[in-house]
Structure 1
């Protein structure tokens, strides 16, 4: 079983605090086999990670991806290096992701305050554990829905800083290459290992987000 963090943001995201290099080093130090770089509405972080991983963290498997903003909420698309326009319908976003060969994951499903959506029928997997929940109810409910649908279940730290990488790990029965890992996700050959984001870090990140919104509003 290979150990992956499938939901990580770098400073290519507006709310990301760590460089790609810092994230890759952290993933390697925590014994992960790989990491997915899923910045908001851009694959630039994932593309850059592919360029530097051999120098920064030899042997680590990088999955480039994106957390794309649709009209109904966020979708993660893994295994792509081409951007998908944000703001489209879920149906059109999924269609665009399929054309690029992406593996589609619903992050933090049904959590409206965090742009979560109901799980569509034509996705590959959904998060049943996101380490940024302070309470376990949303993870519990997501797990029940995924179990009832007999879908592939994954976890993600949703890390926005390097210190949080590896707080939620998906173990995948696959060979040591990206295509085999993505196929393992699609086929449900996964197991979850979890640890919560510390409350102090979560509150700090929320505070930074509100400061950023207030500054943006003040410039209007």
Structure 2
């Protein structure tokens, strides 16, 4: 088990369902793990379009069949009127970390409530990201700047990645850097 404050190399925006064209079987997850390891990453988030089930099932397979060999964060990419594309990462204890993916493609954001990060690099959409504007917004709104591949093919995993701890994601999402503690009555 990794410490929450351990720095990890993570690609937080990937589409493994599109890459594999397969449901998350043990063999499919083995291919994902091999691709993650080949790129020198510690893990990734699986963020299918409007589909959180793929990532949730893949995480269970990583836990049960591969003893958490990599960090796998389930999530999904959705499109909102307010922000355009938003990625939600489902951390432990019902904590959700949200970031704006490929910002400012076709819209203008005015309110960042409920947003914890923003992509400054996205391999598929880097051509239109105004890095100066994104940097200014991140500083002003105290958002984590993210570098992600948006990979739709396994060979593209990790073309951009982040070096951060899970505690940093928790800190932005729930304010204290730690998973919420379950209480039993």
TM-score (norm 1): 0.62
Instruction: Determine helix, strand or coil for the equivalent of 1:52.
Output: helix
Shift of 1:36: 0.3
125, 130, 133: which is aligned to 1:138?
130
Instruction: Please give the alpha-carbon distance, in whole angstroms, between the structure 2 residues aligned to 1:185 and 1:170.
Output: 15
Could you tell me which residue of structure 1 aligns to residue 19 of structure 2? 17
- Corresponding residue pairs, total: 159
Query: Which structure's relative contact order is higher, taking Cα pairs within 8 Å and 6+ residues apart?
Result: 2
1:103 aligns with 2:97: yes
The secondary structure found in structure 2 opposite 1:160 is coil
Give a deviation string over 1:76-101, Cα, whole Å, max 9, x none: 110169xxxxxxxxxxxxxxxxxx53
Structure 1: which 5+ runs fail to align? 82-99, 175-179, 190-220
> 2:69 aligned with 1:69, yes or no?
no
Cα distance in 1 for residues equivalent to 2:86 and 2:45: 14
Contact 2:62 2:70 in 1 (8 A): yes
- Give the 5 Å matches for 1:148-163: 148-163=140-155
10 and 155 in structure 1: CA distance in 2 versus 1, 3 angstrom threshold? same
> Which of structure 1's runs of 4+ aligned residues deviate more than 6 A?
none
CA gap 1:181/1:154 in 2 versus in 1, 3 angstroms: same
Which segments of 5 or more consecutive residues in structure 2 lack a partner in the other structure? 1-6, 23-27, 178-185
Q: After superposition, where does 1:3-82 map in structure 2 within 5 Å? A: 3-11=9-17, 16-18=18-20, 19=22, 20-21=28-29, 22-54=31-63, 55=65, 58-72=68-82, 73-79=84-90
Cα 1:173–1:52 change in 2 (3 A) is: closer
| 8 A Cα contact 1:173 1:184, kept in partner | no
RMSD of the alignment, in Å? 2.9
